[in-house]
Chain A
């Protein structure tokens, strides 16, 4: 029997969202509804992943070409070339698992939310639904709908539950990323009107058909077409990632967003940019991607180094983490630019790792705010004396983020560097500068926050509560496990990365 797992992963959160919105205003059941929906989705994503990796007979629907782990297709508006196509592979599976995981843990972390709880949890679940949709859609039109749908819950999460400057941040987030989306939409139209006919698949939004045709004729329409359209997509995704200099929406959005919002924003929303870059940018424009690797590399390295320096000057813990996210997403671009299997796999793995690590970091910032009522690093000193658990997790996650071997961040960063040595040669020292600066700002922050004298002005503060500790320790377990034994995820990603690499490498 074939089971439409992928559609279920959209349906379950959708039902959960609707139920939670329909609940009475003061109901406290919304969190249960949403948590259960997120957990069911998580289980489904695990089933799909394991069924793919170990070829379990779980009734996955497979696509005819066999390049996807699971694939579901239905006609939608055939006259316009729009269809309902979902599919997952080594690129999207880790990110989908990550999505459900972070949303579920975000719900647990916000368990005590009392301000309009049913909307809050409902919106979180709506984020889960729309982000999963982005990662699964293989139809450009469907993809774009989900892509835009993501903005709405995020806008409200910031705008309603945010900090003092929430309206500015929410509007900035919306407009900024929307500009990126519009330019990406132009790119989608270009694919629809020109690339489709040129590749002899007709006017279609079906990404699988387009990509398979592009694989056979990677230099279709030449640079004159590929370069500008590639850049349009690159811009759209780059704003989302975000890359310097289109990043300033991120720190504001993060500082104002509620913790669960930040977790989803940094852990998942940014990954949409990276995902799109691999799924669309590199796959659909092999020639341009091959020729213009320097564009990716330059933006990647500038993001890494520049954002790291900016981190060094931050005083707000959340702003620091926000900028470090920008710096770490630069690795993804750098990995993508390498066009080697190890570099591409490293870039994808980096997205996964960064999602885990940054979720921990933002939750910690949330704990600091809840417990100490401030996120000012200069006021948070000597916390180990009052908050030992908090400090322990802070240290491990900082070390993971700065790339200490034995923790997951190191593995992906190493892979990215190994991948980019080929093209960079001795100039690899410039992106490596980012590692040193990253070490500096984390160690410096740790030095202030964990060690030294306790700031008595903070008064009586508490350590982690149960609903804070649970998600943190789960994430920490993943960070350590994948640091010591990254093979499962890399094994999942590698076939995809190898395929993409041979597509790009086959040209030169």
Chain B
């Protein structure tokens, strides 16, 4: 209940600056940590969870919290990261204008995210989900005078909205079929056979939009126009994970349908690969990280898909465990990388990696912490990224044993390991190694920025191992799965698997390749851009597979064109018809008038004189004189009454 209070607290900080935001988030963190410890010391709540009903909102729909292993973990994670990044912002946003706006939006965002992960019904989740989307929109457009930022904000809102509408339909269908929004109640209900596939896919549609998965990924790279802190918080560590969270929340629906499982797995695996290829050629440091985020979330989706497949086959839900594990680890190291890049951008004043280089000596803490992040994401043991990513690939391979599609996805996943290592170290070498290419003096960032970096680096190093230390592996804390038992057994399990060495090998070769090209420069990177074989591919990648182009074509040309046609139709056809009818009416009355004058008038002179006289009087009254009109209306009503009365008499008589 104290947590609800913190949501409210977070929202109220409209006027205040950083201290209020940081304070309220810290309070949320304290409550979340308390919950985390409480849940885990009592041995975990397993699949059951605990509901806290706050109050009834509208007829039968309650506002409440669902506290289970998944939500406490995310609550703690989110409030921790929000806190760190809010502290980091104090240094990063120091010179910016509009700080109250910034901190208020960050606080509102935190409330939205915490509300999403703790919601006990889908409607409530949807509401907080949209609040996050709103904050994302506002924060991407924080520098609103910059046209690119405003466009990116617009794009982000619209593209994710497509996903949101799918989510909305999914929630409506669930509500109609089961009569409730409550997640636990829905778990108890059985869906009719024809909805068993479509419902989880609709929910997954929302996840695809929010988590920037193919084909709705186009907004995330552009969203990098916002402040780097925002990119780190919303577009790497938290909000984009909400899609994974939603997929995990609806895991119990997904695992029932083989088709849905396949869609989740394929979209995840393909996105992981697809986004990584685009990261290979990006020159903007933040865009590299953005593609990397998309790619890593693809891994998580793959883990969920493959895990659901195994559950469907009657195995344990290892994939689920590793996906959430990866979610956590990724949140640490990606936030680290983003904040590190923010520190670099802060110092150099550009996003373009071609203008950086040689920063290692000047920015020791930044470069070292970022190196840790890069190693972690590349998947080198014992850094955190290795444990979870390797687990996901292992699950995918296992699923591939009985399903060739998953085997193909696994191949993509392994190739992605190589690419990930390559583009990460390409980034690191371009930024920190070699000669200095940036003009002006470069300084290390202030303490409020470097301390969060060091804290995150610590987690990026150890969060993988920490989970062993608590005994029984990470899996014990996440439902559906029991874990492998002791630490030693887990270690033996991981390192006795030949696949582990394959993925480590891929990672090392990726690093090596980057070393050769971007550090030693033994092979010029121009080879790839100019040689005939790879030129086409390079162009395709730089242009992001022309997806943006295609969407623009669709959005601007087709929808726009259709809108223009509708507008034309409205003005010319419908209104033209209306005006035509009235013109026809006028013509008809003119014809009458003519007939009246020439035909009737000639015969009955006196009568028509009277009519003309009445017309004159009528015209006289049309002078904008309101009282006159009112009198006419009263007369008209009297006329209608008289007419009715006559009709009644005739009818009744």
Binding site for B on A (CB under 8 A): 21, 77, 80, 119, 123, 141, 145, 148-149, 152, 156, 159-160, 172, 175-176, 189, 193, 203, 244-245, 247-249, 306, 309-314, 382, 384-385, 399, 404-406, 410-411, 414, 417-418, 421-422, 426, 428-429, 432, 435-437, 439-440, 443-444, 446-447, 450-453, 485-487, 490-491, 494
Q: Are the CB atoms of A486 and B58 closer together than 8 Å?
A: yes
Name the residue on B nearest A185 (C-beta).
B640
Q: Are A248 and B144 in contact (CB under 8 A)?
A: no
B interface residues with partner A (beta carbon < 8 Å) = 56-59, 123, 126-131, 134, 141, 144-145, 147, 149-151, 153-154, 157-158, 161-162, 165, 168-169, 172-173, 175-176, 198, 555, 559-560, 562-564, 566-567, 570, 574-575, 578, 582, 624, 626-627, 629-630, 633, 637, 641, 644-645, 647-648, 651-652
Given A176-B578, A248-B578, A418-B176, A451:B562 Cβ within 8 A: no
CB atoms of A414 and B172 under 8 A apart:
yes
Chain B nearest CB from A340 CB (Å) reads 9
Q: List B contacts of A406 (CB < 8 A).
A: 127, 130-131, 134
Residues of A within 8 Å of B566, CB to CB, are 306, 309-310, 313
A399 pairs with B154, CB closer than 8 A: no
Return the 6 tightest CB-CB contacts between A and B, nearest first: A312-B563, A451-B150, A313-B567, A405-B127, A313-B563, A405-B130
CB-CB under 8 A for A248 and B575, given A385-B145, A404-B130, A405-B131: yes
B578 touching A436 by the CB < 8 A rule?
A: no
A310 in contact with B563 given A193-B651, A450-B144 (CB within 8 Å): yes
What residue of chain B has the Cβ atom nearest to residue A179's Cβ?
B581
> Is the pair A452, B145 in contact by a Cβ cutoff of 8 Å?
yes
B158 and A443 contacting across the interface, CB-CB below 8 Å: yes
Q: Is the interface of B mostly helix, strand, loop or mixed?
A: helix
Q: Is the beta-carbon distance between A447 and B154 smaller than 8 angstroms? A: yes
In angstroms, how far is the closest chain B Cβ from the Cβ of A143? 13
* Sample of 6 more A-B contacts, CB < 8 Å, known A152-B630, A450-B144: A313-B560, A313-B566, A426-B198, A428-B169, A443-B154, A451-B144
Contact A444 B633 (CB under 8 A): no
Q: Complex formed: what's the CA distance from A447 to B627 in Å?
A: 47
User: Are B158 and A440 touching (Cβ within 8 A)?
Assistant: yes
Residues of A within 8 A of B574 (CB): 244-245, 247-248
Q: Do A444 and B169 touch across chains, with their CB atoms under 8 A apart?
A: no
Chain A nearest Cβ from B315, distance in angstroms: 33
State the CA gap A490–B56 with chains docked (Å).
13
Q: Is the CB of B145 within 8 A of A451?
A: yes
Min CB gap A292→B, angstroms: 23
Cβ of A384: which chain B residues have Cβ within 8 Å of it? Answer: 144
- The A interface is mostly helix, strand or loop, or mixed, namely helix
Sample (10) of A-B pairs whose CB atoms are under 8 Å apart: A148-B637, A149-B633, A399-B134, A406-B131, A435-B161, A436-B165, A451-B147, A487-B57, A487-B58, A491-B59
- Quick check: B144 and A313 within 8 Å, CB to CB? no
B155 closest partner in A (C-beta)? A443
B58, A440: Cβ atoms under 8 Å?
A: no
Pair B626/A156 contact, Cβ less than 8 Å = yes
Q: Chain B residues with Cβ under 8 A from A306's Cβ?
A: 566
Assembled-state Cα–Cα distance A80/B647 (Å): 10
In the complex the two chains form, is B150's CB within 8 Å of A452's CB? yes
> A245 — which chain B residues lie within 8 A by C-beta?
574
**A145–B169 contact, CB under 8 A?**
no
State how many angstroms separate the Cβ of B189 from the closest Cβ of chain A: 16
> Which residues does chain A contribute within 8 Å of B627, judged by CB atoms?
21
* A447 lies within 8 A of B151 (CB): yes
Tell me the bound Cα distance from A4 to B175 in angstroms.
Answer: 43
Least CB distance from A144 to B in Å reads: 8
- Across the interface, do B172 and A452 meet the contact criterion of CB distance under 8 Å? no
- Shortest CB-to-CB span from B227 to chain A, Å, is 15
Q: Is the CB of B570 within 8 A of A421?
A: no
Q: With both chains docked as a complex, state the minimum distance between the C-beta of B516 and any C-beta of chain A, in angstroms.
A: 45
Chain B residues lying within 8 Å of A414, measured Cβ to Cβ, are 123, 168, 172
CB distance from A142 to the nearest CB of B (A): 11
Are B648 and A80 neighbours in the complex by a CB distance under 8 Å? yes
Residues in chain A near residue B645, CB distance under 8 A: 80
A152 to B173, CA, bound (A): 46
What's the minimum C-beta distance from A462 to chain B, rounded to whole angstroms? 20
**Residues in chain A near residue B58, CB distance under 8 A:** 411, 486-487, 490-491
Contact B145 A453 (CB under 8 A): yes
Q: Once bound together, how far apart are the Cα atoms of A453 and B147, in whole Å?
A: 8
| Contact, CB under 8 Å: A432 / B175 | no
Nearest-neighbour CB distance to chain A for B279, whole angstroms, equals: 28
C-alpha spacing A387/B244, complex, angstroms: 40
Q: In the complex, how many angstroms separate the beta carbon of A398 from the nearest chain B beta carbon?
A: 11
A439 and B145 in contact (CB under 8 A), knowing A406-B131, A447-B154? no
> Within the assembled complex, what's the spacing in Å between the Cα atoms of A205 and B575?
36
**When the two chains form their complex, are residues A203 and B134 in contact, meaning their CB atoms are under 8 A apart?**
no
The interface residues of chain B lying within 8 Å CB-to-CB of A77 are 641
Pairwise interchain contact B127-A421, C-beta atoms closer than 8 A: no
User: Assuming the A-B contacts A248-B575, A310-B570, A447-B154, are A421 and B165 also in contact, with contact meaning beta carbons closer than 8 angstroms in the complex?
Assistant: no
Min distance, Cβ A70 to any Cβ of chain B, angstroms? 24
Measured between alpha carbons, how far is A399 from B108 in the docked complex, in Å? 16
Question: Chain B residues with Cβ under 8 A from A172's Cβ?
Answer: 578, 582
> Contacts of B637 on A, CB cut-off 8 Å?
145, 148
Asked if B145 and A421 make an inter-chain contact with CB atoms under 8 angstroms apart, the answer reads no
A241: min CB distance to chain B, Å = 15
CB of A125 to closest CB in B, whole Å? 13
Cβ distance B576 to chain A, nearest Cβ, rounded Å: 9
Given A176-B578, A385-B145, decide whether A313 and B564 contact each other with a Cβ distance below 8 A: yes
Q: Give chain B residues whose Cβ lies under 8 Å from the Cβ of A418.
A: 172, 175-176
Q: A385-B145, A404-B130 are in contact. Are A437 and B559 (CB under 8 A)?
A: yes
Residues on the B chain within 8 Å of A313, using CB: 560, 563-564, 566-567
B567→A310 contact, CB < 8 A? yes
Contact A152 B629 (CB under 8 A): yes
- Residues of B near A404 (CB, < 8 A) are 130, 134
Contacts of B154 in A (CB 8 A): 443-444, 446-447
Report Cα–Cα, A117/B129, bound state, in Å.
Answer: 48
Q: How far is the CA of A331 from the CA of B385 in the complex (A)?
A: 49
Which A residue sits closest to B129, measured CB to CB?
A: A405
Distance, CA A244 to CA B573, complexed state (A):
12
